[in-house]
Amino acid sequence: MNPVLLIAKVTFKELIREKILHGLLVVFFFISIFSLILGSLSFAEQVKMSLDFGLAVMQLSIVGISILLGAQLIQKEIERKTVFTLLVRPLHRYQYLLGKFFGLWALILFMIFLCCLFLSMCMLYFGGSYFKDVFTVGLGLWLEAGFLISIVMLLTQKVQVSVGIFGGIGIFLVGHWFETLKFLTQKNPSIVLESVYQGLSLVLPNLENWNWKSLVVYQQDIGIYQMALSSAEGLLWMIAYLFLAALIFEKRDLIFWFFFKNQITCIPIKHT
């Protein structure tokens, strides 16, 4: 079997047992059920409100899992020292990194499928068929998750896991803030705002390009061309950040990093 696929398969099996994964799934299911009994509005409003709320909870759950698990993919293996036994075999480091990425991305796809299926069944309870719309939102969310995994894997090559997690959350927020920043630069022309907007546009995608939730809720058509273009853009951003992550990982001194970290954490504390 291809080394990348083998590592992806092992990663998928390992991550699916993570407690944080189970916890977030349970939270999603309970909140989705709660949204169905919110109330006393008219039928049409209740369906729209439940769909919007359920999709928002699904997005936050998937984004949270992508950032939290993505930031720990490589570092956890280094701390356990399992990465050393793998890399002494005829295996390139970039293959190991790609296998980890695809393993987590496949797990995210499986989770999105479960969430979309559950949410579609909930909407079917009210007599509305939203299978196609919900799974379309799921596709955009899967692309967003892939980008976030790739960028936190890049960040954690140089910084600690906690910093990488906060960095991933910040990038998620900034990526969804592009439209607001663009509006501000047009409304109040400023060299500073324009420079910030242009600079961010060079290194980060506009995550709203994959956020099709509002289009589905308000029953606006998502063209095939738009979906194809957004998907291609997402794949290009993922490839770029995975390439940088693999480049750094190839040159990274893992043994020095491991012992340097242990040296810091094992400094004796003098009691007075």
The whole-number pLDDT of residue 45 equals 63
Q: How confident is the model at residue 108 (pLDDT cuts 50, 70, 90)?
A: very high
For residue 62, the number of C-alpha atoms closer than 13 Å in the C-beta half-sphere is 31
Annotate 244-268 with DSSP letters as a single string. Answer: HHHHHHHH--HHHHHHHHHHHHTPP
The whole-number pLDDT of residue 37 equals 65
Joined together, the tokens standing for residue 9 give 């398969």
The whole-number pLDDT of residue 150 equals 94
**C-alpha to C-alpha distance for 113 and 34, rounded to whole angstroms:** 20
Q: Does residue 91 register a pLDDT over 70?
A: yes
Cα separations (Å) of 62 from 20, 25, 144, 184?
A: 12, 9, 9, 29
Q: Does residue 257 register a pLDDT over 50?
A: no
The whole-number pLDDT of residue 131 equals 82
The whole-number pLDDT of residue 255 equals 46
**C-alpha to C-alpha distance for 37 and 27, rounded to whole angstroms:** 16
pLDDT tens figures, 148-189:
999 999 998 888 888 999 999 999 999 888 878 877 777 777
Joined together, the tokens standing for residue 2 give 């291809």
pLDDT tens figures, 37-54:
664 455 556 677 777 888
pLDDT tens figures, 12-27:
988 888 777 777 777 7
Q: Does residue 8 register a pLDDT over 60?
A: yes
Joined together, the tokens standing for residue 174 give 């900034």
Q: Does residue 270 register a pLDDT over 90?
A: no
The whole-number pLDDT of residue 271 equals 34
Mean pLDDT (whole number) for 123-152: 86
- Name the pTM for this structure: 0.84
Q: Does residue 139 register a pLDDT over 50?
A: yes
Q: How confident is the model at residue 36 (pLDDT cuts 50, 70, 90)?
A: low
Do the Cβ atoms of 217 and 51 come closer than 8 Å?
A: yes
Joined together, the tokens standing for residue 5 give 């696929």
The whole-number pLDDT of residue 260 equals 42
Mean pLDDT (whole number) for 23-37: 71
Joined together, the tokens standing for residue 223 give 């063209």
The whole-number pLDDT of residue 263 equals 44
The whole-number pLDDT of residue 197 equals 80
pLDDT tens figures, 212-253:
887 777 777 777 888 889 899 999 999 999 999 989 888 766
